[in-house]
Chain A
Amino acid sequence: MRTYAIAVYLFLYIPIGVIAIFSFNAGRHAAQFQGFSTQWYGKALSNPFVMEALQTSATVATVSAALATVAGTLAALALQGVTGRPRIIFDALIYVAVMVPGIVIGISTLIALVTLFDFLNPVLSALWPLAGAAPKLNLGTGTLIAAHGLFAMALVVIIVRARVSGMDRSLIEASADLGATPWGTFRQVTLPQIAPAILAGFLLSFTFSFDDFIIAFFVAGSETTLPIYVFSSIRRGVTPEINAIGTMVLAASLVVLIAAQAILQRGRRRET
C-alpha cells in the first residue's frame, strides 16, 4: 500500500523534476546533462518576448483575480438573503460557468465579442465627439480580464459561500445586540471569519488566470500571454529555455498554492 503511494507520488513529481533538472543543463542537448548552468534562466529573462508575455499574464491575472474576488465575495454574501427562483438561477449560472469546457467558453466569447465589436466600432466612430479617430474596441488585455474573471468569480463564489454558510450566525446577532452598526459587524465579525476564504479565492483565481491557455488562446487577440508564448515555442521544438520558463512558472505557482492551502487549512482549524 505504502509502496504504491510512493510510486504514485513519483509519477506525479518525476516529470516536473526532470524539467527542473534539465533547465540547469549547460548544453542544448535535450537528454544528456552536460554540466550545471543557469544560462537558460538568463536567456529566458532577457528575451523581450518572454518578458512582454510575462507582463501581460501578470497584469491580466492580478486585475481579473482582484475584480473576481470583489464581485464574487459580494455575491456570496448577498446570496445569504436570496431564496426562491433568483437563487436557483444564480446557482445554475455559477455551475454552468464552472462546468462548460474552457474551450467552449473561449470560442463563444470570441465570436460574441468580435460580432459585438464589429457592430459597436462604426457606431462609436460615428458618435465620437472629439477630434481624431475614435478608440477601437479590440480583443486584448481587457477581454482577457473579462473572460478569466468570469471563471475566477464563479470559483470565488463557491469558495466564499462555503465559508459563509459555515459561519456562526449567533456572533452576528450578538454583535448587533451589543449595538454595533451593520458595517462594524461586517468589519469586525464577518470579515475576519471569511478572510481566509477570500484570500484563498484570490490566489486560486490568480493561478487559474496565470496558467490558463485555452481561453486566452481565443480571446487574447494580438496579445501574447506566457502560456500562449510557451505553447507556440513548444510547437517549434523543445528547448532548455522553455525548461527554465516552465520551472519558474511551476515554482511560482507552487509558492502561491501552498500559501492558499495553508490559509484555508488554518481557517478550517480555527473553526473547529
Chain B
Amino acid sequence: MAPATAWLLAMLVLPLVVVVVFSFGERAAAGGYSAAFTFENFANLGTRWAAFQNTLMLAPAGTILCLLIAYPLAYYLAIKADARWRTLLLILVIVPFWTSILIRSYAWIYLLGGQGIPKLLSTFGLGNPRLINTPFAVLTGIVYGYLPLMVFPIYVSLERLDKRLLEASADLGSPPWRSFLQVTLPLSMPGVATGCMLVFILLMGEFLIPAMLGGGKVFFVGNALVDLFLQSRNWPFGAAVAVALVVVMLVTVTLYMRLTRRWAGARDEVALM
C-alpha cells in the first residue's frame, strides 16, 4: 500500500494543494506564478462567466438527454432482450466508452460538417442547415460520448430487479404502464442516480467535445482553462477558475446526493465498466 499512497500524495494531493495556493497568487510578468496572497483572481471570475454559464446549462442538458436515450435501451437489455445475446449486446454498448473519445468526436466533425449530414439533407431538398459549431453539435457529441456510461448503471439496477414483483403487479390487475411507473421505475432509481452523477461529473470538466464540435463558439470551463494555462499563461487566475470549477462540482454533486439519498445505495455504486 505504501507505493500507492506515495503515488497518490505526490501526483494527486501535492498538485491539488499547489493549485489552491496558486489561486491566491499573482501572475508573474512573463506569465506563470508569483507569490502573493490576494483574492483578486476570485473577484475576476466574472470575466469567465460565459464559460461557467455554458457548462452549467449544457452539462445538465447533456445528462438529461443521455438519460432519456439510455433508459429505454437499458430497459430493453435488462428485461426484453434475449438472455443469450444480453452479454454481447451489453459489451457492444460499453466498448465505445473505452475507445478514443478524440476519434469518436472527430467522426462527428465528419458527419455534421458541410460535406456530411447537411449536404445529405440538401439533396433531399430539406435545406442546408449549419450543424457543426453549434450547441446542437456539442450535445450530439456529448450524448455520443457518454451514453454508455449512463446505460450501464441503469442496466445493472434493472437486471437486479425481482421480476416476480412485475408478475405480482400484473396479477393484481395493473396495466403494464402502471407496473412500470410504480414498480420498475422506482426500483431502477439507484441506477439512474449513479448514471446521472457519473455523466454530470465528467461533463463538468469536458474540454475535447466543445473544442472539436463547438468551434470556439460553444465553450466550457475546460476550454477556458486550456486557454488560461497554455495561451495566456495566467496561472493564478487559471488556478482560481479550476478551484471554482471543483467547488461548483462539489456543491452540485452534494446537493444532488442529498436529493437522491432516499434511493439507497446510489452513492456507493460507482460502476466503471
Contact A72 B4 (CB under 8 A): yes
Contact between chains at A110 and B229 (CB < 8 Å)? yes
Q: Is the CB of B107 within 8 A of A112?
A: no
List, in ascending order, chain B residues with CB within 8 A of A191's CB. Answer: none
* B183: Cβ under 8 A from any A Cβ: no
Cα-based distance from A242 to B111 in the complex (angstroms): 15
Please judge, given known A-B contacts A103-B205, A153-B4, whether A98 and B270 are in contact too, CB under 8 Å: yes
Instruction: Report if A253-B205 is in contact (Cβ < 8 Å); known contacts: A19-B106, A78-B1, A104-B242.
Output: no
Is A234 touching B212 in the complex (CB atoms < 8 A)? yes
Q: Report if B116 contacts A (CB, 8 A).
A: yes
Chain-B contact segment, one of A7-15, A39-47, A123-131, A133-141: A7-15
**Across the two chains, which residue of chain A brings its CB closest to B3?**
A71
Known A-B contacts A103-B225, A112-B18; A74 and B3 likewise in contact (beta carbons under 8 Å): yes
How far in angstroms is the closest Cβ of chain B from A77? 9
In angstroms, Cα B75 to Cα A115, docked, is 51
Decide yes or no whether B99 CB sits under 8 A from chain A.
yes
Q: Do A103 and B119 have beta carbons less than 8 Å apart?
A: no
- Taken together as a complex, chains A and B put the C-alpha atoms of A93 and B4 apart, in Å, by 10
Q: Report the contact-size class of chain A (Cβ under 8 Å from the partner).
A: 35 or more
A63 at the interface (CB under 8 A from B): no
Cα distance, A1 to B33, chains bound together (Å): 57
Contact yes or no, B111 A18, CB < 8 A: yes
Q: A102 to B245, alpha carbons, bound, how many Å?
A: 12
Which residues on B sit within 8 Å (CB–CB) of A171?
none
Tell me which of A72, A78, A249 contacts B103 (CB under 8 A): A249
User: Which residue of B is nearest A8, CB measured?
Assistant: B73
Q: What chain B residues lie within 8 Å of A217 (beta carbons)?
A: 226, 230
Q: At the interface, yes or no: B13 with Cβ under 8 Å from chain A?
A: yes
- Smallest beta-carbon distance A242→chain B, Å: 7
CB–CB B5/A104 < 8 A: no
Residues of A within 8 A of B249 (CB): 101
Q: Say what secondary structure dominates the interface of chain A.
A: helix
Q: How far apart are B217's CB and chain A's nearest CB, in angstroms?
A: 16
Q: Which residues of B contact A253 (CB under 8 A)?
A: 98-100
The minimal Cβ–Cβ distance linking B188 to chain A, given in whole angstroms, is 16
Q: Is A66 at the interface (CB under 8 A from chain B)?
A: no
From B19, B205, B273, give the contact of A204 (CB < 8 A).
B273
B100 & A93 in contact (Cβ 8 Å cutoff) = no
Q: A109-B11, A146-B11, A213-B208 are in contact. Are A74 and B4 (CB under 8 A)?
A: yes
- B36: Cβ under 8 A from any A Cβ: no
Q: B99–A250 contact, CB under 8 A? A: yes
Which of chain A's residues have a CB closer than 8 A to the CB of B225? 103-104, 107
Q: How far is the CA of A155 from the CA of B271 in the complex (A)?
A: 11
CB 8 Å contact bits of B81-117 with A (1 = contact, 0 = none):
1000001010111111011111110111111010110
- Other CB < 8 Å A-B pairs besides A12-B93, A15-B108, 9 of them? A1-B75, A5-B73, A8-B147, A15-B110, A103-B207, A211-B100, A231-B102, A250-B103, A258-B91
Contacts from A to B (Cβ < 8 Å): 1-2, 4-5, 8-9, 11-13, 15-16, 18-19, 22, 30-31, 70-72, 74-75, 78-79, 82, 90, 93-105, 107-115, 146-147, 149-150, 153, 155, 157-159, 204, 207-208, 211, 213-214, 217-218, 227, 230-231, 234, 238, 242, 246, 249-250, 253-254, 257-258, 261, 264-265
B contacts, CB < 8 Å to A:
1, 3-5, 7-8, 10-16, 18-19, 22, 32-33, 69, 72-73, 75-77, 80-81, 87, 89, 91-96, 98-104, 106-111, 113, 115-116, 119, 144, 147-148, 201-202, 204-208, 212, 222, 225-226, 229-230, 235, 238-239, 242, 245-246, 249, 270, 272-273
What are 6 A-B pairs with beta-carbon distances under 8 A? A5-B89, A31-B119, A71-B7, A75-B5, A111-B19, A211-B102
